[in-house]
Amino acid sequence: MDVNRCLKKVLKYGVIYCICILAVAYFRIRPYTTERREAARNEYNIVYLNYESALADYEDAIEDYQKRAKQFETASIIDYNKNVSKKYDLGESIEMRATISYNLIRNGGIGNDFSYSANINGSSLSNRTQVKINLFRNNTLQITITEHDPSIDDVGEKTETFLFPLDRLNEGTINSYTIYARETRGRGAGESAEFNVTLTLEPVRKIDLTSNRYVKSKFTESRPTKPTKPLLPTEKDFTISDIFANDVAFHTICEILALIFLVRIVLFARHSIIEARREQERLRKMEQEKEQREIERAEFIKELSGQSIRDFCKVPTNISFTQDNLPKDNNNRIYGSYTVYISRSGTKYHRKCGCSSANIPYHLFRVQSRGYAPCARCCPPNGDLPQWYRDYIAMLEKAKRLDVQS
């Protein structure tokens, strides 16, 4: 098989292989793609609905959290106040004497015609004004400082809210605030006067908070945790890429089979190519050898130039040859003068028949190659084979090889 045919075969198998794989993939995937796309979409919709409700929950939760966080900031005071309130029945508010003082710290040249006003929970303050202070709710303090100008007054305002600390019920409180009155127009625009305002609250009457009855409540509530916002699900999480997830085993087997198939094709192709090359090489060699032989044959025939091989090798005329091409002369022994004798168990050959009871006739040219050594008593040393015999044998072999009649 030549290489091209082999490659064609491989190509054919390769195409069949690809078609098989594609067909399997197509028939496996097609029902899934629509079905699973639908499923993925439904799944996504469900998750999206969950997300929406989670988002709504989150919005409620964050609102709740903000309330609770604010509560947390004031919870200890409120808790504490409630405790006190139960024990002493303080009511919602208490009367306090409020004193407010204004101290000019620095005047950036905005004038000196100041007037002041302040109120707590709407009640305006002057010296030692008796005001109602809320015990469980915020109190609002408003302060206004005005510098009177001919055209437009310079005003500094501040609104503060505070919870009254009930552990100061019998001591009262002193709070300081910094207020700036600013000039917004005219020569001194941007300049300001800085005031330190001090609010003093004194109890109107003392409350007997004896230590054995006065228990400060413990603050147990922990800081509320901020709810986390749910994440918008992405369609990416519900793609059809999970189609195969349920079929991993099936696909693994398919892939292994396909791989084995592919390996087999590759091995087959490799084997075929090697075989084809070997065959080609063999044919080429045979062709070469044949040509060579033709040349040699022509040369051989030319060399013989019509003589017989026997004549060409100058074989003596009294020599004839046995069927094994062993020479024999006209001496009356079996191989003529080339006859020697061996015994069945001996290791020597003999010229003389019966020497050391050797009486099996043997050809002289064969004894050495069969491992026999000459008998010291009856054998002269055995010389080389005669040149004509060696030539004759070589020529015979060559004639046989080149298919020339001898």
Q: For binding to Zn ion (CB under 5 A), which residues are involved? A: 350, 355, 375, 377-378
- Which C-beta is closer to Zn ion: that of 205 or that of 344? 344
**Nearer of residues 150 and 371 to Zn ion, judged by Cβ:** 371
Give least dist CB 355 to Zn ion, A: 3
Instruction: Please state the closest distance from residue 359 (CB atom) to Zn ion, in A.
Output: 11
Residue 332: CB minimum distance to Zn ion, A: 20
Q: Residue 284 or 377: which CB sits closer to Zn ion?
A: 377
Q: How far apart are CB 329 and Zn ion at their closest, in Å? A: 21
CA–CA separation, 162 vs 142, rounded Å?
A: 11
Q: How far is the CB of 279 from Zn ion (least distance, A)?
A: 59
Burial 156-182 (b: 16+ CB within 10 A, else e): bebeeebbbebeebeeebeeeeebbbb
Nearer to Zn ion, 108 or 346 (CB): 346
CB of 357 to Zn ion, least distance (A): 10
Integer distance in angstroms from the first to the last C-alpha of the chain? 41
For 112, 187, 211, 339, 352, the CA distances from 333, given in Å and listed in that order, are: 171, 164, 158, 7, 12
Nearer to Zn ion, 313 or 379 (CB): 379
Structure tokens at 63: 């609102």
Of 166 and 379, which has the nearer Cβ to Zn ion?
A: 379
**Residue closer to Zn ion (CB basis): 355 or 367:** 355
Separation of alpha carbons 339 and 347, rounded Å: 16
Residue 103: how many CA atoms within 13 Å on its side-chain side? 8
75: nearest Cα among 156, 163, 10: 163
Structural contact between residues 232 and 51, judged by C-beta atoms closer than 8 angstroms? yes
In the bound complex, what is the minimum distance in angstroms from residue 377's beta carbon to Zn ion?
5
CA distance 196 to 156: 12
In angstroms, rounded to a whole number, what is the distance separating the alpha carbons of residues 22 and 40? 24
